[in-house]
Amino acid sequence: MTTFNYFTFSFSIVFISWVVGLIFDALLQKAKFYQALDNLNFIESRKLNKWMGLDYFKWTVKNTFFRFFNMKLNLNSTADIDDLHILRKEMTKAELSHLLAFLFMAVFSLVLLLKGKFLFALIMLLVNILMNLYPSLLQQQNKRRIDKLIKRYS
């Protein structure tokens, strides 16, 4: 396989991982511990988020075709406190779906690594970080912003 094939296969697995993430998220919503996942915060530091390039990622999501991927994650200027709570719930769902998708793809990367396919594993890991981990971290950042608004208007 060529490097191009590694990328195309990795992006194919990303789309599959999104479906898997949505399915597992739907199943986990019924579990008692799901509410505990509501306040996950891997990286709270704005400085570290900025260093990782999350601001550039956010710009990319807002200004490219990616903004059309989840239309439920929009807030209009006349939103009230209930709208903020609904938006936060949708953000949590998106965050956890991406996180579960990240874990799903990480298994593939690990298998490739164990098989000695280091370049393929690295490419898959990078695609996974870009398409699953960064969206999850962005949702966490957005939830912190929503929490400030909820606190201000409550």
Domain spans, the chain: 1-28+76-154
- Residues in the chain with pLDDT < 70? none
pLDDT in tens, 64-94: 888 788 777 777 777 788 888 988 999 999 9
Dihedral of the CA atoms 142, 148, 151, 152 (nearest 10)? Answer: -130
**151 phi/psi in degrees, rounded to 5:** -65, -40
Find all residues with CB under 8 Å of 120, minimum gap 6, and list them.
1, 6, 9, 112
